[in-house]
Structure 1
Amino acid sequence: MRWVICLLVYVLCAWPAAKANAHALDPGYLEIRQISSDAWSVHWRKPDVNGQPMAIDAVLPEGCTPMRGPSPTSDGRAWVSSWIVECHADIAGRPIAIDGLEAQKNDVLVRLHPLKTEPTTLRFTPETAVQTIPSEQTTWSVFATYALLGFEHILEGWDHLLFVFALFILVREPWRLVGAVTAFTLAHSITLALATFGVLSVPGPPVEAVIALSIVFLAMEIVKGEDGRFRLSKQKPWIVCFGFGLLHGLGFAGALADIGLPSNDIPAALLAFNLGVEAGQLSFIGALALLLAIWRLMARSISQSATVIAAYGIGSVSMYWLIERISGF
């Protein structure tokens, strides 16, 4: 019975701690903005990998000079470079490539701002490192792109997954769990929107530290949950999750700031990103529920000691994140 939860603790705890970074999603971002009939300004942001720029490079369409940019410099979080290119022909219908992306696990968002047509967003993956620039883009394509980004972000954000995992252990009643997750989603949607529109601005490091602290809190509630006392986290978990969701939304806002949003489709992109996050959370909970059902068929009961082991595993890793993030202030 215990091996199932121990395996989950290892996957969700030991691995992200070894990476020393709770957010795995750190995509590249390339912005190409037309400034005249034959000139474009280019801003290229490469993810940081152990203090060095990721081994990828943007290759602009033929006819643009230069096709590659200068060496990037670090801004503390990523490696950036900016330059001006001359393109003597229309770049629509021409291929653009992210060289080296096929050997990576990250995505790259490319945002094009022509003078006479609507902006276009392209999502490059290791499987699609070369794409043709379309002549126009619909709101639906923006929606689909950001929904997938939200889905991938929650499934690659180890601290957010660990929070949901702790909530899954703490709240046993399905209806309470669904209500708590819904409250969490509503709350992070609020702060994500406020931060995106510039109404709310909070430095990233304290937010990340408090997110880790929220997981420590849930781990402690799991351990203390059997003492017979009234606990808000178990009786009305939606209240606790709403409060912590406000904080996690600021963490999502930091990820979106790195990714960038299409200026003319911000509402659609925000809605899509939130729906993608919610779909990712529900998929994760569904996978846990399936695993738990299989476990119960095999064992007929859940071992209390295994639950305690999971709680201490969650608490240990979240404390590691908390100390690491505070020391980064």
Structure 2
Amino acid sequence: MTSLAFLAAFLPGLWAGPALPHALQPGFLDLRALGGDAWQVYWKVPAGAGGPMQIAAVLPETCDPRGPGPLEFDGTAFVAAWISGCPGGLEGGEITIEGLELTETDVLVRYELAPGRAESQRLTAASPGFRVPAPQGRLGVVSTYFALGVDHILRGIDHLMFVFALILLIRDRRQLVGAVTAFTVAHSLSLGAAALGWIVVPAPPVEAVVALSIMFLASELARPEGRGLRLTERYPWVVAFAFGLLHGLGFARALLEVGLPEGEVPPALVAFNLGVEAGQLMFIAMVVVVGSLLRRLYPATMAWATRRDGQGIAAASYLMGSVAAVWFVGRVAAF
């Protein structure tokens, strides 16, 4: 299944930011064509330690102005808006995010070559700039939002910890597959509903309940043997589905931060969701592979660590519960 040794390798980084386990939300640069040579520019910078991250949007050389003025804090991030004139248009020009190569976040660039023709590009530390190509079409939108979904789930430590707790708790493989499937279906439904505006829930309560869901699974895992089946063992699919709906609202927050491209909402939404699922499957596969390797290399230690009534599982449950409790308190304080 998995091991305390794997948990020890997985959790140390969680203490770096106990109240904010998500990676920094992605930056967002939006260039909306106004007609002629004018673009409405919106620039959002994630909040870092005591201020905005040290990154700056730089528009093509033909644009004036090429960068933002003073940033203002809107409660979640630092933003700036201005109108830039770009004679000849954006196509062929280079858009760069200065300083992005020194960070661990990414920036989604949404731009229009003409009014109503939205394109998007994801920039990372390894690729902090790009030359604006001709219209990329639907395939480009799908690839961009798929990568954004994968990146979000793999950086969402709290969501991964919930899945990890499910793996530790549900030992029957058939029930585990069913629970993970129920979790997937549920967060796909709530993600889509929230992204389309059918459900509107403030972010702080959602994040607090996500932390609470981890505390619940940790308490289930810490329950001693001999007291009957745990609730998650009796109704694994129901528990996973219920909490999956809440986690989906958390996924949707990241998508709403960067927005959906006009005219390409369905493919972008589906691609982001598939990216989340792909990242989740990658994580589960990693847990299974690492657990199998450790079982072969250290069979006696693994047998002790994964015994249901052993100290290894108890230590894992208390560690996950403690981290989630710190997150919960921090998120409630942010209401």
Q: Same fold (TM over 0.5)?
A: yes
Give the partner amino acid of 1:38.
D
Out of 221-230 and 84-93, give the one that drifted further: 221-230
Give the corresponding residue for 2:317.
Answer: 311
Change in Cα spacing, 1:227 to 1:327, as seen in structure 2 (3 Å) is farther
Tell me what 2:330 maps to.
Answer: 324
Q: Confirm whether residue 269 of structure 1 aligns to residue 268 of structure 2.
A: yes
- Residue 7 of structure 1: how far off its partner (Å): 5.4
Any conservation in 2 of the 1:118–1:137 contact (CA below 8 Å)? Answer: no
SS at match of 2:47: strand
CA-CA distance at 1:68 after TM superposition: 1.1
Give 2:49's aligned residue: 50
Within 5 A, what are the aligned runs for 1:235-254? 235-254=234-253
In the alignment, the residues of structure 2 paired with residue 234 and residue 131 of structure 1 have an alpha-carbon distance, to the nearest angstrom, of: 50
Q: Are the counterparts in 2 of residues 25 and 157 from structure 1 also a CA contact under 8 Å?
A: no
Q: Which residue of 1 aligns with 2:106?
A: 107
- Tell me what 1:283 maps to: 282
1:167, 1:177 within 8 Å by CA — same for their partners in 2?
yes
The one-letter code of the counterpart of 1:307 is I
Matched residue type, 1:299: P
RMSD: 1.7
How many Å apart are 1:6 and its aligned residue?
Answer: 4.8
Residues matched between the structures, number: 326
> Whole-Å Cα distance in 1 between the matches of residues 205 and 101 of structure 2?
34
Aligned to 2:23: 24
1:251-310 deviation line (CA, Å, top 9, x unaligned): 111111112211221111111111111111111111111122123222252342101110
Are 2:116 and 2:262, in contact at CA under 8 Å, matched by a contact in 1?
no
Whether contact under 8 Å (1:64, 1:87) holds in the other structure is yes
Amino acid in structure 2 at the alignment position of 1:326: V
Equivalent residues in 2 for 1:187-198 (5 A)?
187-198=186-197
Q: Find the counterpart in structure 2 of residue 95 from structure 1.
A: 94
1:205 corresponds to 2:211:
no
SS at match of 2:35: coil
Residue type of the partner of 1:150? G
CA apart distance, 1:9 = 3.9
Matches of 2:291 and 2:126 in 1, distance apart? 34
Instruction: Look up the equivalent residue of 1:24 and give its one-letter code.
Output: A
CA distance in 1, matches of 2:15, 2:89: 47
Runs of 4+ aligned structure 1 residues displaced above 4 Å come to none
Deviates more, 1:137-146 or 1:77-86: 137-146
Return the offset for 1:116.
5.3
Equivalent residue number for residue 15 of structure 1: 13
CA deviation profile, 1:63-118 (whole Å, cap 9, x unmatched):
11111110111111111000011111122111111111111111111111233562
Q: Which amino acid aligns with 2:29?
A: L
Which AA in structure 1 matches 2:322?
A: S
Q: Could you say which residue in structure 1 is the equivalent of 2:219?
A: 220
Q: Which amino acid aligns with 2:327?
A: W
Using the TM superposition, give the Cα deviation of residue 246 of structure 1 relative to its aligned residue in structure 2, in angstroms: 0.5
Task: Report what 1:299 is aligned to.
Answer: 299
Question: Shift in Å at residue 47 of structure 1?
Answer: 0.9
| 1:35 and 2:41 correspond | no
Aligned mates of 1:218, 1:116 — CA distance in 2: 49
SS at match of 2:111: strand
State the shift of 1:167 in Å: 0.6
Provide the residue aligned with 2:258 in structure 1: 259
**3-state SS, counterpart of residue 29 of structure 1:** strand
Q: What does 1:54-73 align with in structure 2 at a 5 Å threshold?
A: 54-73=53-72
Matched, 1:179 2:185: no
Q: CA deviation at 1:230?
A: 3.1
C-alpha contact (below 8 Å) 1:33/1:113 kept by paired residues: yes
Q: Which amino acid in structure 1 is aligned with residue 292 of structure 2?
A: A
Q: Shift of residue 240 of structure 1?
A: 0.4
Q: Percent of aligned pairs with the same residue?
A: 45
Unaligned runs of 5+ in 2: none
Q: Summarize the alignment of residues 152-163 of structure 1 with structure 2, pairs less than 5 Å apart.
A: 152-163=151-162
Q: Out of 249-258 and 17-26, give the one that drifted further.
A: 17-26
